[in-house]
Structure 1
Amino acid sequence: MTIKLVGIGGLGLMLSPSAKHLKPGGPAAFLRIHDRGTRDSRRDACRQSWEKHGAQVVNDFESLIGEGDFDGVVICAGKNGDDLKILKAITPILKQRHAATPFILHLSTVSAGFVAAAHEFLFSQEVEYANYPLTGGPAGADTATMLILASGPSRLYEMLEPTLQTIGNPKFFGKRLTAGSEVKLIGQLMVFNGLIGISSAGALRAECFADSLTGVEQASFFDFLNNGAGGTRQWDVALS
């Protein structure tokens, strides 16, 4: 079965490569992509790539949602501000026009508090929600090697896993909704704060996942996360 999707942020650096990675007859296809209208050579190339994929590029959320002829919405936008506006704008349209229970797959980097609040709001609107932050930068997105930090409903992850494996390297961190956003924070601590940040990342991982500061599970976790943006082999020195 091919999952039918619509996308917001599809002209951005992280989601736009999915147009070439997802082939006809594959695990997922985008029907429509939202376009904010910014014109430049890179975005024009993205528009052409999505049209080649088979997606219609539309200029408003009403056209994006259409008659609700899809399974879910993929959002890969900016920071908390943009994402909040997007969720507030599309939810009433989605609820009105989608007969079944759709899902929102949120690929943006947002706080754990944002994830919890978004889930609570969307659950009240009968919309399933999960946040799978990305790490690996535009190069990782282009080569389908970016890390996809998944958590939340296991049924949703199992359904999406073949799609995620096509566009990147996913790992499921359990049913706790905020686990993916917490792992992204751990990665950011390592990237931006050197050895002190790595030590903080080790302590945060142990607290988030109720695990020890050392051992096989820790090594496996950081070996995986090291493949994301700004990875460093110094984690094993700092935590030993």
Structure 2
Amino acid sequence: MSVPLRNTAYTLQLHHRGELMTPLAQGALWWEARRTLIVSDLHFEKGSSFARRGQLLPPYDTSMTLKVVEALVDEFAPDCVVSLGDSFHDPSAEARLSPSERLRIRALTARTDWVWVEGNHDPDPPAHLGGRGAKTFRLGDCVFRHEPTGEIGEISGHLHPVARVAGRSRAMRRKCFITDGHRLIMPSMGAYTGGLNILDEAVTCHFAEGWIAFAAGEKHVHMIDRKLLAHDHPASAKERRWRL
């Protein structure tokens, strides 16, 4: 199994079902031929959801995540943005948005054809924020959905894949893309989202014939040598699964 790659002045690119796509360090995917930007698992208002349960977090995650998305839309000027589900952390997240954050979301959805793919956290994205909802969304030979099913051409999210890369002195965790050239699972972009190790069976079971992972660095995306990947410690792995 191999995934054709190409390096450009901007970053590394990969082929998905014959289409050239660019994984971005912010955790998004850019499909130049279709002028389409794909983002996943924004989890707006996760911080306020945790606060209601007594776990106080700084209430800035939605604004931080929006800032990243706004910068990407400014840079690429996409004709279409596909948000792969769990854009909102829970069904009442929209009600907890500040007025300014609502305006920022409406401004984004007014600039492009915005598709809210349904997630397990947000089956009914709020219509008044603009954009259009879809259980799945198909474009060319690609199908976009929240939870991976193994369908050929699928681009999905939900699992928040991360790579734990072993170093000489310490291990680093990085959000990552995982693909076999026919299926691709996106990292989460939410500021407070956890991650599931790509060596976990819940991730690898979707790639029976092998896979390649690409880790998001500070400015670029890097293909990972699988020999450097490490499992999480059992206790921390259980905690990170719970936080998805």
Higher fraction of strand: 2
Do they superpose with TM above 0.5?
Answer: no
Higher fraction of helix: 1
Q: Please, what TM-score do these two structures have when normalized by structure 1?
A: 0.37
Q: Please, what TM-score do these two structures have when normalized by structure 2?
A: 0.37
Query: Who wins on radius of gyration, i.e. which is larger?
Result: 1
Larger relative CO (CA 8 A, sep 6+): 1 or 2? 2
